[in-house]
Structure 1
Amino acid sequence: MNPRIAAVIWGLFVIGAQIALPLALRDRLPDPLATRWGLGGLASRSMSLTTYIVVTFLLWAVLWLVALAAAERATARRPSRTVWWGGLFGLGALALGVNVTTVLANLDAPDWAASRLPGWQVLAVIAAGTGVAVLAGYLRKGAPDQDPAHRTPPLLRLRPGRRTVWVGHAANRWLTLLPVAALAAALVLGLLYVTGLVPGGPATSVLPGLVLVLAAGVLTSSVSVQVGDGRVAVRFGPLGWPARRIPLSLIESAWSETRHPAEVGGWGIRGLPGSSTIMLRGGECLVIRYRSGGRLAISIDDAERGASLINALIAERVEQSTTTD
């Protein structure tokens, strides 16, 4: 089935179910109704039935429209195809599960404060959403990708006895803003905690997440690749750490190729060991094929020149080995 048609059908079904369920049972639901529960399944927050239906509709509609817009590129490759199908159906199942448990918790309750949500239902919804996502991704992953069209780098001849090095860089200014925003939020949260405006519980629970976002943003906002001295070194972040060093003896060949985030599942490090992509921005990528059959793609500027040097250094090693033998 065409991905766009599947997205339209599934999205409309979820929207219809999200709206129809509370409307069909509105005579048995309190208004306002409970929409949030704390420890022990006790209701802690409510909203009017009309507001609940609108919010439920909008939350899914936004996710659905994003998936619909990304359908063409997101299904171009097997890894992104798996993520797209899994995300589309998994999030839809999760949204339906949340709606069903919310309605059941409020059903026939005298008022919203009297509603109860058993913990096992929350776990069941999460498990069901995850299971649907895994199943949909597996069933719709499709056949293995064929080798995409790539630009064969020009042949580069090295002068004997001369050391040649290539360095390429790439950065994403939007990803750079992520750690800045996380740092600002952490400072504001700390200030509010010190002044007593925010209690310690919420502050200490949110701060670790902000620290993780800060660290991840710093490490994945930029990347550099250096070819030379018998290896390919991939360095992350402004400090060039951490770094991954790949000996040329493990590489079979290299080339440049155009890739986009939607084709590989988004920004950052995507894929699985043996077939992964370091995606900071769409466009030119340096692709390395290992002798073991695995591949590593890195979004980097001037990738064609880097691939030429890698191939030339490999050819030089082979020639030297043949001469020695």
Structure 2
Amino acid sequence: MKSAKSGPRSVLPSTRPLRPWIAVFPFLIALLAIAGVLNGVSGRLPDPLATHFGPDGKPDGYSSIRGFLTASLAALLLIAVGSGVLAQLRRTAPVTRWVISAGWGAAVMFALPVCLTLLANAHARDADAVRFPMWQVAAWLGAAVLAGGLGWLLAGPDTRTATAPSDGAPRLALAEGESAVWSHTVSSPLLALLGALMLGAGVLLGFLDGWLTGAILLVSALAVIAVGSVRVTVDRRGLRLASTLLGVRFRCVPFDRVTEAVGRQVQIAAEFGGWGYRVRPDRTGLVLRSGEGLVLRLTSGREFVVTVDDAATGAALFNAYLDRARTRQNSPQDSRRSPRQGG
């Protein structure tokens, strides 16, 4: 198997050693906020509480005070621990900034409705008299988005791998008849965890609310899990993407659809507006982090992008096979083996 060295790289030091603390900070504030509100309305709450409301703001679901608080606090603590552990184990990884941002948004998403629900119940004579204005839902979602943005800023820039720019589109030298394979795995623990949680929720929802509703969540969970860990391969058939968690191939880009392959730095927020399997007007790609990316420039004028390590080597091998495919396509008809002549 042929191999080639990518351009010189240097790892920039992390500027955010406090990322694990930043990840758990909003959950501490959320718990203090819930404790403060609960202390202020203690003794004025009906039991059961009105905990779910319809579009008209009237209650259509109830829960005991203990059950409501236990479920809410358990969810907050579970997400807090998950965010803190991921930030500690992968504090310099690009995905950690997204974990922190999502954690800050989740802290507000869980804590604010708990506080609003407690306050709404405290001002009513009984649970049936509780009202939850729908404008509060819009304010709650807006606050969660703002919190996520604040978490993104506080997490600081990611640790990046600086790669020397390549001169044109490099080729990996392959002798006639020689073949090579380049393969790397790119993963997102956050996506894999999210997919697993969605899968469990889908099964639970299927038992509780019917399998038609649960099936929608199950299908969505499988789609998320599929891109949670992906094997990226370049060989004589082109570029292939296969889910390592599901064991299925879900994308193949053959040589006749590509003009050239390059390795370059990819900024997923600026170029794709998010992470996962993304489709934009001028590009499509599997982008699980910012950093090195294998970019295929398609004959349609679009780009197909995969963020993966050692992208320069993958691009060089793809271009070598691409040249070979073009040579065979342009070879004259009489270059085929002539028929055997009789004696």
Is the TM value for this pair above 0.5?
yes
The secondary structure found in structure 2 opposite 1:158 is coil
Give the alignment's Cα RMSD to 1 decimal.
4.7
The secondary structure found in structure 2 opposite 1:28 is coil
Matched, 1:36 2:52: yes
Q: Match for 1:50: what amino acid?
A: R
Following superposition, the deviation at residue 276 of structure 1 comes to 5.0
Residue in structure 2 matching 1:209, options 217, 221, 229: 217
Q: Match for 2:221: what amino acid?
A: V
Following superposition, the deviation at residue 62 of structure 1 comes to 1.2
Matched, 1:22 2:29: no
In 2: Cα distance, 1:142 partner to 1:275 partner: 25
Q: 1:50 to 1:240 in 2, by over 3 A?
A: closer
The secondary structure found in structure 2 opposite 1:124 is helix
In 2: Cα distance, 1:41 partner to 1:147 partner: 51
Q: 1:203 to 1:115 in 2, by over 3 A?
A: farther
Equivalent residues of 2:57, 2:131 under 8 A apart: yes
1:243 match: 252
1:140 match: 154
Following superposition, the deviation at residue 41 of structure 1 comes to 2.1
Following superposition, the deviation at residue 59 of structure 1 comes to 1.5
Deviations 1:38-92 (A, max 9, x none): 34222233233233333322221111111111113444244x2431332222112
In 1: Cα distance, 2:229 partner to 2:91 partner: 25
Q: Match for 1:251: what amino acid?
A: A
In 2: Cα distance, 1:91 partner to 1:219 partner: 22
The secondary structure found in structure 2 opposite 1:27 is coil
In 1: Cα distance, 2:70 partner to 2:247 partner: 44
Q: 1:277 to 1:60 in 2, by over 3 A?
A: same
Aligned residues with identical type, % of pairs: 17
TM-score by length of 1: 0.63
Following superposition, the deviation at residue 125 of structure 1 comes to 0.8
Equivalent residues of 2:31, 2:111 under 8 A apart: no
Q: 1:312 to 1:241 in 2, by over 3 A?
A: closer
2:5 match: none
Give ranges in structure 2 of 5+ residues lacking alignment.
Answer: 1-15, 165-170, 265-274, 328-343
In 1: Cα distance, 2:124 partner to 2:50 partner: 10
Equivalent residues of 1:75, 1:84 under 8 A apart: no
Q: How many residues align?
A: 275
1:115 match: 130
Deviations 1:123-152 (A, max 9, x none): 221121122213432x236346532699xx
Equivalent residues of 2:76, 2:110 under 8 A apart: yes
Q: Match for 2:98: what amino acid?
A: V
TM-score by length of 2: 0.60
Superposition pairs of residues 27-176 of structure 1, within 5 angstroms:
27-78=43-94, 80-137=95-152, 139-140=153-154, 142-143=156-157, 145-147=159-161, 157-159=173-175, 161-162=176-177, 164-166=179-181, 168=183
